[in-house]
Amino acid sequence: MLDKSKFAILRAAKRVWAVAAIHGEAKRLERIHAQVAERFEPGDRLVYLGNFLGHGGEICATLDALLLFRRKLLAEPGVMACDVVFLRGAQEEMWAKLMQLHLALDPAEVLAWMLERGLDATLEAYGGDPRGGLARARLGATDLARWTSELRTSMQSHPGHYVLMSALRRVALTDDGALLFVNAGVDVSRPLAAQDDALWWGGANFDAISGPYGGFKMIVRGFDRNRKGVNFTTYTATLDAGCGFGNPLNAGCFDAEGRLVELIEG
């Protein structure tokens, strides 16, 4: 049995819309939302594939747009809260780790590593200073815990942001076992219930998956850290076109058999 606090089950999905890594590009996200709203049909589901945070300069506006569109969909007849899913990506994982930075053996080194990978944009969005953070990290656990508490309070001052970050799922899958949605990758040597960091830090061999892992007909991911672009194989789909790095944001619509119905760009 899968832990429902970690794994989202999409029930009776006729089609599933999947949105690639956004990376703080709120305007592109709003263009995607406008197109999805025109095409959304009864029985459709929506999955955001993680990496809402990081890199871009409109992070708070991005989370506001995510929350607003969720409310709009939930106002539609027949749409349930479980029909809209937000996955954890590497950027959200780093933010969660930042909140526990005072427990790290070498917090300054850990913070520097995360800043090199896009956390600086999220930090600044919630009033943090990367260089100031590194200085605090060298002062000791008590001072560092006070700093991260201030960041948490800043996020909580934005309605819905903290709640959204607390409700992220590791993967989403259709209840018939046909479609699996992940952030960056999947470790095919491990069962789904045992998947962890490979979901957001893995993916190097994603395109080489040559069989139906776990019986899934299609595995869809939203982020490729190698930025090789949109790619489809017999068993996998990569939707990441490089949003946050000067390229468009993509979303794909998949039918119950795992076939791509439509690919849209924002």
Q: How far apart are CA 205 and CA 186, in angstroms?
A: 9
Question: 24 — alpha (psi -120 to 50), left (phi > 0) or beta?
Answer: left
Q: What is the residue-level pLDDT of the chain in tens, covering all 266 positions? A: 788 889 999 999 999 999 999 999 999 999 999 999 999 999 999 999 999 999 989 999 999 999 999 999 999 999 999 999 999 999 999 999 999 999 898 999 999 999 999 999 999 999 999 998 899 888 888 989 999 999 999 999 999 999 999 999 999 999 999 999 999 999 999 999 999 999 999 999 999 999 999 999 999 999 999 999 999 999 999 999 999 999 999 999 999 999 999 999 99
Task: Indicate the residue among 161, 189, 210 that finishes a domain.
Answer: 161
- CATH number, domain with residue 26: 3.60.21.10
Under DSSP, the state recorded for 145 is H
Q: Judge whether 1 lies within some domain.
A: no
Task: Indicate the residue among 161, 184, 207 that finishes a domain.
Answer: 161
- Number of independent structural domains in the chain: 2
Q: Judge whether 2 lies within some domain.
A: no
Is residue 238 a contact partner of residue 218, using CB atoms and an 8 Å limit? no
Q: Judge whether 29 lies within some domain.
A: yes
- Report the sign of the C-alpha dihedral through residues 181, 185, 186, 192, in that order: negative
Q: Judge whether 227 lies within some domain.
A: yes
Same domain, 116 and 68: no
Same domain, 53 and 183: yes
Q: How far apart are CA 186 and CA 201, in angstroms?
A: 9
User: pLDDT value at position 139?
Assistant: 87
Same domain, 172 and 85: yes
Same domain, 52 and 180: yes
Q: Judge whether 205 lies within some domain.
A: yes
Same domain, 21 and 63: yes
Is residue 5 a contact partner of residue 28, using CB atoms and an 8 Å limit? no
- For the chain, how many residues are written? 266
Same domain, 157 and 183: no
Same domain, 56 and 109: no
Same domain, 259 and 173: yes
Write the DSSP assignment of 100-126 as a string of letters.
TGGGSSSHHHHHHHHIIIIIHHHHHHT
Task: Indicate the residue among 120, 140, 161 that finishes a domain.
Answer: 161
Q: Is the pTM of this model over 0.85?
A: yes
Q: How far apart are CA 15 and CA 21, in angstroms?
A: 20
Q: Please list, in sequence order, all residues whose beta carbon lies within 8 angstroms of the beta carbon of residue 106, skipping any fewer than 6 positions away.
A: none
Same domain, 156 and 173: no
Same domain, 84 and 212: yes
Same domain, 177 and 155: no
Question: Domain range holding 200?
Answer: 7-89+168-265
Crossing angle of helices 90-98 and 107-114, rounded to 10°: 150
Under DSSP, the state recorded for 238 is E
Q: Judge whether 200 lies within some domain.
A: yes
